[in-house]
A and B are shown apart, each in its own frame.
Chain A
């Protein structure tokens, strides 16, 4: 008799998900699905609002990476107000936004690594959930916990200086930014009391990378093979092929490194990317239209970015990038747990970029906003911490939003996360009749590697509130476990 295992959070917290694992009569895993059962509706309820509200309104999708939505929306509106894309803004406008974005990337990645991932690495995924959480880390590794908190604080302070406040600011406006960096802010970031200064942030970023690489050497089998599978990868890259988290052209490579999307203008994204709806999840499944729904899926995020770009335009991160690329002999890295490695290289890159920008005189003077001939439609794309983020808006002659289409990073990783869950289920649950804490957590670890929006809900205190129900084909409950 075939069975279905459901892993579902009990509480309805932001970004929750549900995993079902179907087992056939022989005890083999037949199918695994990650269901996203929440519904947000932002694309609908922004309609009718004045277009300049979008960056402030839509960022409330998230409290962890609102800056990404704030900037992606602002970039789309840059097109609408005639400022163009990328270098169409004034130097002050673009550089202040970049600083905001690197601050965001830094704090979000740090939050993910120290708060969400480090308990798994430090204690092991089979360990007691009562210990395997940020409180456990703080008790056993206090220096590391403090480092994580202070690094996140630094990133948040950068966001406050550029967006007005740490969460849900208003800094980016259509065509530019609404403030300069003040001398006081600049001095604070450069020479702030230890450890809150940029040099310490760079140094700690290197330490975190060293820690992860050390862990990887000791746990090579786990890090290299856990939920690993070949895939295509997509991200923005700068026109010269450099890693660029704020602006660029769309590039995708297949699992062998062959370019399958050739540095195209993201204003035309609809020509290249489609979205499939499946009846068991509210989250759509994006794919490259040229390759169809079955084969066109791709991964986004730190791993994808380091697979698509040719180099990193900051010296310390470039050195780490070379080591990262050498590990797979220059070929794309398809190892899911290497997302963490790539993420920490981006932390270092963000810190280096922040240092350059803080020292840039353009941030303290110059025109803030530029505009041109108004258009009725615009697309903004940015590399958010979790991957490529698309915002597309249309307006009417009365300046009201008439259309919004958002493809958020976690959506692009929908199919990869489903595949990762399936791999993990087969690896840990194949032929098993008893579900252990470690098995359940292995599924979560696979999802968590992608740092999806639901990660904070699933791991904030070390374990997701779970209910596992084992049912047969007639929906009879065979077993039920809660934790």
Chain B
């Protein structure tokens, strides 16, 4: 049995199992630290940086930092919130996110964070790099214009024998998400749905099921992202 550690987030006394990453530990204490690449239950990657916090005065990604006894965490200070807003804006201008017609609208974590940080319009110029879509899979449609390279799909969606169905091809600004069509063809409907649900944006779409959830019933239609965590304290 692991040891219980005590730490503080924005002055709030918190407790969690030692070694648990700070995002999940905060969640257990009713504190929301926004994430895009992190997915509970899979190994953290720290790639999106939206979970940046200050720990004992230093900027660190919460998803890759194990909670330790005596930690002093700043999560909601003005500079942290501004940093996160900048990251969200950067992600928007890096791709081509036309929320109004995107079927992930209302369920998209990036869009929800845009609302949370009151992003009215990005302050940076749009890149609008042309990126190809991949529609060859029988069950999935991949729109690279919306991909934020979080690697959630790479880390969480595997074939029955453990092979990666998704992978990142290329480096730097040439990096793009790729899908193994042979392995993808073996996916069940449930696995395809899981791939779409795990994608924090509208990059992975399950074919032929668009807009089935009416406006008003979508994930973030009624409550903003993170409010479920802030309203419930597990510990």
Asked if A52 meets B100 with Cβ closer than 8 Å, knowing A399-B135, A399-B141, A400-B135, the reply is no
Query: Which residues on B sit within 8 Å (CB–CB) of A292?
Result: none
Q: How far is the CA of A91 from the CA of B3 in the complex (A)?
A: 61
Q: Which of A134-142, A171-179, A186-194, A380-388 contacts B (4 or more CB under 8 A)?
A: A171-179
Which residues of A lie under 8 Å from residue B136 when comparing CB positions? 398
A398 to B133, CA, bound (A): 11
How far apart are the CA atoms of A251 and B81 in the complex, in Å?
61
Q: Cβ of A422 < 8 Å from any Cβ of B?
A: no
Determine if B208 and A170 form an interchain contact, defined as CB atoms under 8 angstroms apart.
Answer: no
**B101, B207, B209: the one within 8 Å of A56 (CB):** B101
Q: What is the chain A residue whose CB lies nearest that of B103?
A: A53
A357 at interface by CB-CB < 8 Å? no
B100 to chain A, nearest CB (A): 6
1/0 per residue A40-65: CB within 8 Å of B? 00000000101011011100100000
Q: Which residues of B contact A164 (CB under 8 A)?
A: 214-216
- B215-A165 in contact (CB<8A): yes
Q: How far is the CA of A56 from the CA of B98 in the complex (A)?
A: 12
CB neighbours (8 Å) of B207 from chain A are 50, 399
Q: Is B51 among interface residues, defined by CB-CB distance under 8 A?
A: no
A170 to B210, CA, bound (A): 9
A168 lies within 8 A of chain B by Cβ: yes
- Secondary structure of the A side of the interface? loop
Bound Cα distance from A179 to B216, whole angstroms: 10
Contact residues, B58-117 vs A (CB, 8 A): 100-101, 103
Chain A interface residue bracket vs B: 20 to 34
Residues of A52-86 whose CB lies within 8 A of B: 52-53, 55-57, 60, 81
* Beta-carbon contact of B211 and A173 below 8 Å: yes
A-chain residues with CB within 8 Å of residue B135 when the two chains form the complex = 48, 50, 398-400
Q: Is A274 an interface residue (CB 8 A)?
A: no
B212 touches A178 (CB 8 A): yes
Q: Does A438 contact B (CB under 8 A)?
A: no
User: Are the CB atoms of B210 and A173 closer together than 8 Å?
Assistant: yes
How many angstroms between the C-alpha atoms of A60 and B211 in the bound complex?
Answer: 16
Query: Which one of A48, A50, A55, A178 lies within 8 Å of B213 (CB-CB)?
Result: A178
Contact (Cβ within 8 A) B215 A52: no
Decide if the interface of chain B is mainly helix, strand, loop or mixed: loop
**With known contacts A168-B100, A399-B135, A399-B141, A53–B210 Cβ distance under 8 A:** yes
In the bound complex, residues from chain A placing their C-beta under 8 Å from that of B149 are none
- Interchain CB contact under 8 A, B214 and A50: no
Are A169's CB and B215's CB within 8 A? Answer: yes
Instruction: Report the separation of the CA atoms of residues A56 and B215 in the bound assembly, to the nearest whole angstrom.
Output: 12
Q: How far is the CB of A72 from chain B (nearest CB, A)?
A: 16
Q: In the complex, what distance in Å separates the CA atom of A401 from the CA atom of B141?
A: 13
Determine the chain A residues whose CB is within 8 A of the CB of B210 once the complex forms. Answer: 50, 52-53, 56, 173
A48/B100 in contact, CB under 8 A: no
Please indicate the chain A residues that have their CB under 8 angstroms from the CB of B100 in the complex: 60, 168
Residues of A within 8 A of B103 (CB): 52-53, 56, 170
> Complex: how many Å from CA A229 to CA B212?
47
Question: Is A171 within 8 A of B141, CB to CB?
Answer: no
A55, B211: Cα distance in complex, Å: 10
Task: Give chain B residues whose Cβ lies under 8 Å from the Cβ of A400.
Answer: 133, 135
- Which of A163, A178, A400 has the most CB atoms of chain B within a 10 A radius of its CB? A178
Decide if A178 touches B211 in the complex (CB within 8 Å): yes
CB distance from B163 to the nearest CB of A (A): 23
Report B-chain residues with C-beta under 8 Å of the C-beta of A169.
215
**Chain A residues positioned under 8 Å from B213 (CB to CB):** 178
Q: Please judge, given known A-B contacts A60-B100, A60-B101, A399-B141, whether A52 and B211 are in contact too, CB under 8 Å.
A: yes
Flag whether B205 is at the interface (Cβ < 8 A).
yes
Rounded to whole angstroms, the CA-CA distance of A178 and B216 in the bound complex is 11
User: Which residue of chain B lies nearest to A56 when distances are taken between CB atoms in the complex?
Assistant: B101
Minimum CB–CB distance for B197 against chain A, Å: 17
Q: Which residues of B contact A174 (CB under 8 A)?
A: 208
When chains A and B are docked, how far (Å) is the Cα of A398 from the Cα of B140?
Answer: 10
Q: Which residue of A lies closest to B135 (CB)?
A: A398
**Interface 0/1 of A147-164, CB less than 8 Å to B:** 000000000000000011
**Residue picked from B101, B135, B217, most chain A C-beta under 10 Å:** B101
Q: Give 15 CB contacts A-B under 8 Å.
A: A48-B135, A50-B205, A53-B101, A53-B103, A56-B210, A56-B211, A60-B101, A168-B100, A169-B215, A173-B212, A174-B208, A178-B211, A178-B213, A399-B141, A399-B208
List 6 A-B pairs, minimum CB-CB distance, nearest first. Answer: A164-B215, A52-B210, A398-B135, A179-B214, A170-B211, A57-B101
